[in-house]
């Protein structure tokens, strides 16, 4: 009888338990660091009631999530996965940095296009420029959202794509599900759905916004599925959020602008197109921009590698693909 907990051939826990334990580690670390942070804040004379809901609390939460993500994933790959961290798409070679640059450029370009379309349609009105949220000098207030979106782009891609998609693909690699190629495609869809559900409790979230965020997860993960590298998704994630929130003053996944904005706007227009108070990600314009982004990612990969194919090495256990972020495709 097959052991439901342990894979004797790979000498490690099965994928479900690896994913579950990484999640448990993440939650425990968040709770521990969060509690310690509140205790230190109180010892320094701060009032936790004042901290709740503030920009400082949001930034602290992002920092705590980053630390918890990195530590939990490192522990998981070291002791549960039995692979190096670079095996999650973080082998920082020349191709990785080129992909990162492309992703950064793509996110900025697409969100600029979203703003220009809404501006030309009369759906946004520019009310101010170089404005610090809540008053004060623009610089250094603009540094806070820059750091926040850098951290969010990295740790969300590390967890949702790097860890979850990779382990799901390995766990679903059965002939009846289409082998390695089918496993990667199925893991791609599941991890994107989890990404969407992870944003369901965001301010002003709806069923439509959750579905759109799941679609965004597909676009963010496309580079990983086609190259085995997280670079495109990380870059795209960072500048998509930063330009959406800090450059053009849109809400990001229901969260109002933080720190400072280069352009402050007043949103109008039909909600079905603009996404209204949730931001462009809940509107058809945002969906169309993401669709264009997915096509451009596929074009970039095609030009760089000469083909578009699922990176089936994502479904290989580390005993087969030891520390190989990118390997030749075994299937089309």
Give the model's pLDDT for residue 52. Answer: 54
Classify 261 as helix, strand or coil. strand
In a domain, 323, yes or no: no
Whole-model pTM?
0.91
Q: Say if residue 121 is in the same domain as residue 212.
A: yes
Q: Say if residue 163 is in the same domain as residue 277.
A: yes
Give the model's pLDDT for residue 107. Answer: 98
Q: Say if residue 60 is in the same domain as residue 177.
A: no
Give the model's pLDDT for residue 134. Answer: 79
In a domain, 149, yes or no: yes
In a domain, 184, yes or no: yes
Among 86, 103, 68, CA closest to 237: 103
Give the model's pLDDT for residue 54. Answer: 58
**Domain endpoint, select from 52, 82, 112:** 82
**Domain endpoint, select from 82, 102, 132:** 82
Number of structural domains the chain divides into: 2
Instruction: Note the pLDDT tens digit of each residue in 137-159.
Output: 998 889 989 999 999 999 999 99
Q: Say if residue 7 is in the same domain as residue 69.
A: yes
The per-residue DSSP string of 157-207 comes to IIIIIIIIIHHHHHHT--GGGTHHHHHHHHHHHHHHHHHHHTTTTSTT--H
In a domain, 322, yes or no: no
Give the model's pLDDT for residue 329. Answer: 41
Q: Say if residue 28 is in the same domain as residue 156.
A: no
In a domain, 330, yes or no: no
Q: Say if residue 21 is in the same domain as residue 59.
A: yes
Q: Say if residue 45 is in the same domain as residue 66.
A: yes
Q: How many CB atoms neighbour CB 40 within 10 A?
A: 10
The CA distance from 80 to 21, in Å, is 8
pLDDT tens, position by position, for the chain (332 residues)? 478 899 888 889 999 999 999 999 999 999 999 889 888 877 776 665 555 555 667 778 889 999 999 999 999 999 999 999 999 999 999 999 999 999 999 999 999 999 999 999 999 999 999 999 878 899 888 998 999 999 999 999 999 999 999 999 999 999 999 999 999 999 999 999 999 999 999 999 999 999 999 999 999 999 999 999 999 999 999 999 999 999 999 999 999 988 899 999 999 999 999 999 999 999 999 999 999 999 999 999 999 999 999 999 999 998 654 444 444 343 43
Instruction: Give backbone dihedrals phi and psi of 315, rounded to 5 degrees, phi first.
Output: -95, 0
Beta bridge partners of 19: none
Instruction: Give backbone dihedrals phi and psi of 218, rounded to 5 degrees, phi first.
Output: -65, -45
**Domain endpoint, select from 82, 110, 126:** 82
| Cis peptide preceding 258, ω within 30 of 0 | no
Q: Say if residue 123 is in the same domain as residue 45.
A: no
Q: Say if residue 36 is in the same domain as residue 104.
A: no
**Beta pairing, strands 124-132 & 12-13:** unpaired
Q: Say if residue 184 is in the same domain as residue 305.
A: yes
Classify 130 as helix, strand or coil. strand
In a domain, 329, yes or no: no
Q: Is 208 exposed, middle or buried (0-12, 13-18, 19+ CB in 10 A)?
A: middle
Q: Domain range spanning residue 70? A: 1-82
The CA distance from 256 to 267, in Å, is 12
In a domain, 162, yes or no: yes
């Amino acid at each position: 009888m097959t052991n439901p907990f342990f894979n004797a051939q790979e000498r490690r826990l099965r994928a479900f338990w690896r994913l579950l334990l990484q999640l448990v580690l993440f939650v425990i670390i968040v709770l521990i660091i969060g509690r310690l942070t509140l205790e230190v804040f109180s010892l320094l004379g701060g009032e936790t009631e004042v901290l709740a809901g503030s920009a400082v609390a949001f930034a602290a939460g992002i920092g705590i999530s980053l630390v918890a993500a990195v530590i939990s994933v490192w522990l998981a790959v070291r002791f549960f996965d039995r692979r190096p961290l670079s095996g999650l798409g973080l082998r920082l070679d020349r191709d990785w940095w080129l992909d990162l640059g492309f992703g950064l450029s793509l996110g900025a370009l697409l969100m600029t296009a979203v703003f220009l379309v809404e501006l030309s349609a009369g759906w946004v009105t520019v009310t101010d420029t170089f404005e610090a949220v809540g008053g004060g000098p623009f610089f250094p207030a603009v540094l806070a959202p820059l750091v926040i979106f850098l951290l969010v782009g990295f740790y969300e891609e590390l967890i949702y794509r790097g860890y979850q998609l990779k382990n799901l693909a390995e766990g679903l690699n059965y002939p009846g599900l289409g082998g390695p190629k089918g496993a990667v495609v199925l893991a791609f869809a599941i991890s994107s759905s989890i990404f969407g559900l992870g944003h369901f409790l965001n301010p002003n979230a709806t069923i439509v916004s959750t579905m759109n965020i799941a679609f965004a997860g597909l676009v963010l993960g496309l580079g990983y599925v086609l190259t085995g590298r997280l670079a495109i998704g990380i870059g795209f994630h960072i500048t998509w959020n930063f330009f959406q929130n800090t450059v053009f003053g849109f809400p990001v996944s229901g969260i109002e602008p933080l720190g400072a904005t280069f352009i402050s706007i007043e949103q109008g227009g039909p909600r079905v197109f603009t996404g209204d108070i949730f931001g462009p990600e809940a509107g058809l314009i945002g969906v169309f921009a993401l669709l264009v982004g997915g096509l451009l990612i596929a074009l970039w990969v095609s030009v760089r590698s000469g083909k578009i194919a699922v990176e089936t090495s994502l479904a290989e256990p580390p005993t087969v693909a030891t520390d190989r972020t990118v390997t030749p495709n075994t299937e089309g």
